[in-house]
Chain A
Amino acid sequence: DAGVIQSPRHEVTEMGQEVTLRCKPISGHDYLFWYRQTMMRGLELLIYFNNNVPIDDSGMPEDRFSAKMPNASFSTLKIQPSEPRDSAVYFCASSFKGGGYTFGSGTRLTVV
């Protein structure tokens, strides 16, 4: 199993640009989570899906953030327009119930 795959690993973009982060969960996992990690705030849950349906998006900072999961093998997190304060490491994780999360390696986003 290749694990949770995130792309890109690093993204540098200019303020105002659209950014799309991608995630491929582990086959058979029916939960998918998007987290953001910063020094100041630690790990923050942004949104999670169960069977491709968004369950809780209360952690999404504002309307500039959106997430989709069109099928069981793919999810995206989009930021439009991006701002410098969005700079962080974004993690995707997947799980089955009671199994514990498997995290991807993360996308380090820098908005300049």
Chain B
Amino acid sequence: AQSVTQLGSHVSVSEGALVLLRCNYSSSVPPYLFWYVQYPNQGLQLLLKYTTGATLVKGINGFEAEFKKSETSFHLTKPSAHMSDAAEYFCAVSDKFSGNEKLTFGTGTRLTIIP
């Protein structure tokens, strides 16, 4: 069974500072990996995904994530935080070989930006 662990349910960073949100996965085979963002009173929106190929994945709004197989990690980063980045972020994993499309989500990290 696969799972994801998001370290830190709440993260606060100053505007302009580096954003780092951590995600570690547990899977017997290299999975598909995703980051989603949820703004208040909205659905989840796909930020970026890793399926195969280049391990550094660029997404929307200046975010990127790097798949590190040796560390079983897929941390999300942004060089300079903006007030509009305040939201909840979810990491998710699916098994590319299972034949189904079911995603397992982490418990989420709420990002607060300090002016």
**A binding-site residues for B, Cβ under 8 Å:** 4, 31, 42-43, 45, 48, 50, 55-56, 91, 93, 95, 97-98, 100-106
Contacts and interface: CB of A to CB of B under 8 A. Distances in A.
Interface residues of B, number: 19
21 contacts: A4-B43, A42-B107, A43-B90, A43-B105, A45-B102, A45-B103, A50-B100, A55-B100, A56-B102, A93-B43, A98-B32, A98-B51, A100-B49, A101-B34, A101-B36, A101-B44, A102-B46, A103-B45, A104-B43, A105-B43, A106-B43
For the complex of A and B, the 9 pairs showing the least CB-CB separation, nearest first, are A103-B43, A31-B101, A103-B44, A100-B46, A100-B49, A43-B105, A105-B43, A106-B43, A100-B34
B42 interface: yes
B105 A95 contact: no
Nearest to A9: B41
B63 to A, nearest CB: 14
Contacts of A55: 100
Interface of B: 32, 34, 36, 42-46, 49, 51, 90, 96, 100-103, 105, 107-108
A43 B106 CA distance: 9
A79 to B, nearest CB: 20
Nearest to B100: A55
A91 B41 CA distance: 11
B43 A97 contact: no
B96 A98 contact: yes
B64 to A, nearest CB: 16
B43 A48 contact: no
Given A98-B32, A103-B36, 6 more contacts: A4-B43, A98-B51, A101-B36, A103-B44, A104-B43, A106-B42
